[in-house]
Structure 1
Amino acid sequence: MSEETKKLPGPRGGGLLGSLKEIGDKAHVTWTKWSATYGPIYRVDLGPLGDSVVLSDYNLFKKAFEGDSDVFSGRYVLPIVKKSGSHGSMAWENGEIFEKRRNLMMKVFEKADIDKMTQNEVEAFCDVLKESQQKSSTTVYRMVYEANLNLTIAFCFQRGKRCPYDDETFRERIRLMNNVLEARKNLMAEKGNIFPFLWSTCLYGKFRRIHNEQRTYINQELSVRDVGDIGTVQDLMDGYVAKVDGIDFPAKECIVHIMNTMGATITLKNAMQWLILLITRHPEVQTKIQTEVTSVFGDEVPTMEGIDKVPYTSATIYETLRIACPAAQVVPHMTQADVKFEGYDIKNETVVFGNIWGLHHDTKYWEEPETFNPDRFLNSEGKLDLDKESYVPFGLGKRRCPGETIAKRVMFLYIASIYQRYGFEEVEGHPLPDVNDGVLFAGLHNPPPYKLKIVSRSDDKNNK
């Protein structure tokens, strides 16, 4: 077959949903199996998304998203996303408007004191751990979720101030966020993508109401935000209202941007839940982290200045991002022109996925990829070694996660601070899940809920 007529291989689809049902709730596993059958680049029928392309090889991933980034950096916007009014954020925009809004976000990251916000939140988190020690079991899983949402809200529109976990307003925001995540858990397979007119029917009444409720309470915060009161930009809403560094957007557009930011940071929550789970499943790893953190920080509050002195702690974070892969697949890219790629003709506006899970479990690059081993990110001298091919937990190219640096800082401060004072053990009668038990929910790789026993450090000087 000549290159001009070469067709992408792939599983047989068909029907309104294509291969979506066949993919199931573990798309990352299915896609990796299909890559073994059809090769590192193949076609898959995703129903409302049409014939999409999946990349499951590091070199192809890099070539597409970095080498041909202008072509492959578009974003496919689902019909249901358009109907719900989710334009106005980086996740669902293309071209210059995407670049401009990303720039605004990065400027706010520079000006807001994320480290201080994180330290405040982790202190409150550790206080809850202390209060919960005497309980027979504690749902740390849920506690991580609430701490992450609180930190996100502080960054988005609370000017760095956190809410007490038992605050009525905060509990209401938890309820709303739960509802939003539940409504969006099967975003790609929604019937409204196939039949957009269904959006106006009772079928999506709850979906519309949930999104309107979230918009309403964010708009209430915006309505009392006065540009004259803004000195230093302290949160994302300030960035819009004060037009940070001259980046001019209508202030109202911050509402949708905040809504999507709150959803996007669930990836950080997943990473933290996986971290604590995997560390608990490997007591020797927990002991090494505790020993390392204590030797560097003693009973002082961990700070970023000491990160280079605790390489094993950082290596554990990176290994968790590899093996558990919270973002098992990239949010769908879309080609912005016809392109010849690896001998295949790929049309303009074709959806393209990068199978990050497959890259992180590729035996060509990783020895025993199913084994949790932080040492793989350390060199012979015990120093952190991040020069790894086929490691892309935050994606590549123009669509690379803008919050990567912040996420790494937050994870480090949390892990260092928590294990400086506490450890965790499995609760009798509640076996801990493993990486293979994770499922995709709202497009992210989630660990099942778990319970843990909280254990204070034996060295009393580290307890507060």
Structure 2
Amino acid sequence: MPMQFRQHSIGLRVEIDFFPTKYGGEAQAGKNVSLRKIFRKRTLDELLIFLRPLECFCEWIFCRRAFFLASPPTLSGGRREGRGWGGKATPTVGQSTVASRCVWTLFAMDFLFLLLFFVLCSLAVIALLLGARDKGAEAPGPRPWPLIGCLPLLAGHDTPFEAFSALARRYGAVYALRLGAVSCLVVSGPQLIRQVLLSNAFGGRPDFLRFHALFGGDRDNSLALCDWSDLQRTRRRIARLHCSPRFASAHHDRLDEACASEAEALLSQLLPPPGAARDVRLTKPLLLAACANVFTRYMCTRRFDYEDAEFRDIVRRFDLIFWDINQGYAVDFLPWLAPLYQSHLRRLSGHASHIRQFILKHIVEPRRGDKQPPPPSYDFTEALLSHLEQSPDESHLSWEHVLFELEDFLGGHSAIGNLLMLALASAAQHPQVAVRIRAEADEATGGGKRALRLSDRMPFVEATVLETLRTASSPIVPHVATEDTTVSGYTVSKGTVVFLNNYELNRSEELWQAPMDFRPERFLSADGTGLTKPNHFLPFGTGRRTCIGQRLVHSCSFVLLATLLQHFDVSADEAICRVPACVALPPDTFTLRLTPRSHNPIYCQ
């Protein structure tokens, strides 16, 4: 980058001759980057802005010198004759000597100023280059529209993640996207997604108005939708023992009993009495109620009757919230639309308020007056209350936090109920899957002589649950950068919402064979006796914000799915409509026909 200084009669002009280059290409992370590529256009503009005051300063120096040489002062008592140095009069000896010294002094000063100028320019260049390397380049992406940003680009697709995948083919695995007033980054590819999930710089959650409405006006009351904090760490530590129980522990035995007992209760509800029509209808509300009872049995030591109207209403409200969280609304990215969404936000807040009143009335209040010490294998509710009473100051927990945390975890049953409906629908569409699950269940229970347990070895059942998660491709909750950082060499500013495109991970032909087909065997080992999960399969995320309830999802789904398919043939009389990239089904969705097996194991008991 040659730099030339040309002296003119009015001062110094700085001319910088840059090598011609194109700014379209971006440097790849981890590779050597030449000076030309690091010197992006923005960096050059910043350098020129920095040099402009120095140029003006140098112009002032040379103008001062030119003026002095044209009009030297009168020294040693002499006076100026004629028109100056170019006139006919000759200066006196004293004038000539002093003027010569002044000229040499000014040239020496000019040299010092030029030296200082070069030093400052060099420091500026080094600082800008180091800054460009530290900050990284700006991620590529489409140009946003005023006010609405790139929201129109998401139209024409069944799900935003299909649009994200289409844009990734144009801009690469990492690209910037402005959605309304929100700066976003879309990340694709297993290595990059895992990098974001494992980084502590992305511990935040989006600040959506809907999230605040669901948790009493403050989304930090939620365990899944809050930013990472000491309170978050405390709540996860308390919950981890109960949500991820170790095999053969007291908590694992309680979870096993809750799953097996509720599976038998569901069978009793579904099996027709003698002489009645054999076929029965399985609706999502009934399946959700069974999942909810597994959670209340295990976490609260409390079960509710399927015909309890208040219980059914709460299960319905949980499902409405789960469906809403899995949707996207314009107000999430255009907060100035909030006045148009007030009724929707009040409705969400009302659902959450009813749920908390139910939990307080039927679960928390009966425990608060109990002064008996907790049993050795006390439930999750008792753990929260005991922790609150023993160290309220150290834990930062309040009664409200206990209530919100119970609401958060009990609401997990909605995800399992929706997942089970999808798994059963897939079994109806692929009868060979149901036949294989039934064979495993019969072998594990000796032909139905006992109830299924978590300890039963049924790898194909587990593979079916995983394949249902893959085909549903439920999105990972977006993360938010809590500090300025980089991803793949691109700058990510604090507050940027990061979408992790696991839809592309689960549907990529480069990562899966026949990804559009439902094939549980893809998760089986070569001999079919074990389970295997590839590293690019991340249905629950990873890192410190991984889904803490994934063990509950596997356990409940494992027992209920195998139990239903062991006792019933499943079919569909209506179209099965799924929502792409979403595990949630509409609250009023399809029903399934269940036909008891002619040699039903339960009849043989």
Range of TM-score over shorter length: 0.7 to 0.9
| Aligned length, in residue pairs | 448
Deviation digits for residues 393-433 of structure 1, max 9, x if unmatched? 11111111111122111111112222221220232xx1334
Secondary structure of the corresponding residue to residue 508 of structure 2:
coil
From the superposition, tell whether residues 214 and 26 of structure 1 become closer, same or farther in structure 2 (CA, over 3 Å). same
Deviation digits for residues 215-242 of structure 1, max 9, x if unmatched? 3232334233225245136443322211
**Whole-Å separation in 2 of the counterparts to 1:196 and 1:254:** 33
Aligned equivalent of 2:436, options 265, 268, 288: 288
From the superposition, tell whether residues 135 and 26 of structure 1 become closer, same or farther in structure 2 (CA, over 3 Å). farther
Structure 1 residue 197: Cα displacement: 7.4
Q: Determine whether 1:78 maps to 2:208.
A: yes
CA RMSD of aligned residues (A): 3.0
- What letter corresponds to residue 403 of structure 2 in structure 1? I
Deviation digits for residues 106-132 of structure 1, max 9, x if unmatched? 133346522222222222222222139
Q: How does 1:153-172 map to 2 (within 5 A)?
A: 153-156=296-299, 159-172=300-313
Aligned equivalent of 1:18, options 149, 169, 185: 149
Structure 1 residue 21: Cα displacement: 5.6
Deviation digits for residues 364-397 of structure 1, max 9, x if unmatched? 2101111111111122211223241310111111
Does the 8 Å CA contact 2:202/2:479 hold for their aligned counterparts? yes
**Whole-Å separation in 2 of the counterparts to 1:358 and 1:284:** 27
Larger CA deviation: 368-377 vs 14-23? 14-23
Does the 8 Å CA contact 1:121/1:162 hold for their aligned counterparts? no
Does the 8 Å CA contact 1:293/1:416 hold for their aligned counterparts? yes
Higher-Rg structure is 2
Deviation digits for residues 280-337 of structure 1, max 9, x if unmatched? 1100111111112101212211112222xx2222221221111222x2x111211121
**Whole-Å separation in 1 of the counterparts to 2:333 and 2:509:** 39
From the superposition, tell whether residues 147 and 18 of structure 1 become closer, same or farther in structure 2 (CA, over 3 Å). farther
Larger CA deviation: 342-351 vs 135-144? 135-144
**Whole-Å separation in 2 of the counterparts to 1:97 and 1:125:** 38
Matched with 2:222 is 89
From the superposition, tell whether residues 88 and 239 of structure 1 become closer, same or farther in structure 2 (CA, over 3 Å). farther
Q: Determine whether 1:225 maps to 2:355.
A: no
**Whole-Å separation in 2 of the counterparts to 1:182 and 1:291:** 34
Deviation digits for residues 122-166 of structure 1, max 9, x if unmatched? 22222222139837662433322222233334445xx23221110
Deviation digits for residues 260-296 of structure 1, max 9, x if unmatched? 3344442222221111111111001111111121012
Structure showing greater relative contact order (alpha-carbon pairs closer than 8 Å, 6 or more residues apart): 1
From the superposition, tell whether residues 140 and 252 of structure 1 become closer, same or farther in structure 2 (CA, over 3 Å). same
Structure 1 residue 456: Cα displacement: 1.6
Matched with 2:270 is 129
**Whole-Å separation in 2 of the counterparts to 1:160 and 1:224:** 12
Structure 1 residue 256: Cα displacement: 1.7
Aligned equivalent of 2:470, options 300, 322, 341: 322
Does the 8 Å CA contact 1:74/1:95 hold for their aligned counterparts? no
Q: How does 1:417-432 map to 2 (within 5 A)?
A: 417-427=563-573, 430-432=574-576
Aligned-residue sequence identity (percent) comes to 21
Q: Determine whether 1:260 maps to 2:401.
A: no
From the superposition, tell whether residues 183 and 402 of structure 1 become closer, same or farther in structure 2 (CA, over 3 Å). closer
**Whole-Å separation in 1 of the counterparts to 2:342 and 2:463:** 50
Q: Determine whether 1:269 maps to 2:417.
A: yes
Does the 8 Å CA contact 2:481/2:495 hold for their aligned counterparts? yes
Does the 8 Å CA contact 1:10/1:43 hold for their aligned counterparts? yes
Q: Determine whether 1:409 maps to 2:555.
A: yes
Structure 2 unaligned blocks of 5 or more? 1-22, 24-36, 39-131
Matched with 1:459 is 599
**Whole-Å separation in 2 of the counterparts to 1:461 and 1:182:** 36
From the superposition, tell whether residues 219 and 196 of structure 1 become closer, same or farther in structure 2 (CA, over 3 Å). farther
Does the 8 Å CA contact 1:108/1:234 hold for their aligned counterparts? no
Does the 8 Å CA contact 1:86/1:260 hold for their aligned counterparts? no
Larger CA deviation: 191-200 vs 51-60? 191-200
**Whole-Å separation in 1 of the counterparts to 2:585 and 2:378:** 31
TM-score (norm 1): 0.86
Matched with 2:511 is 365
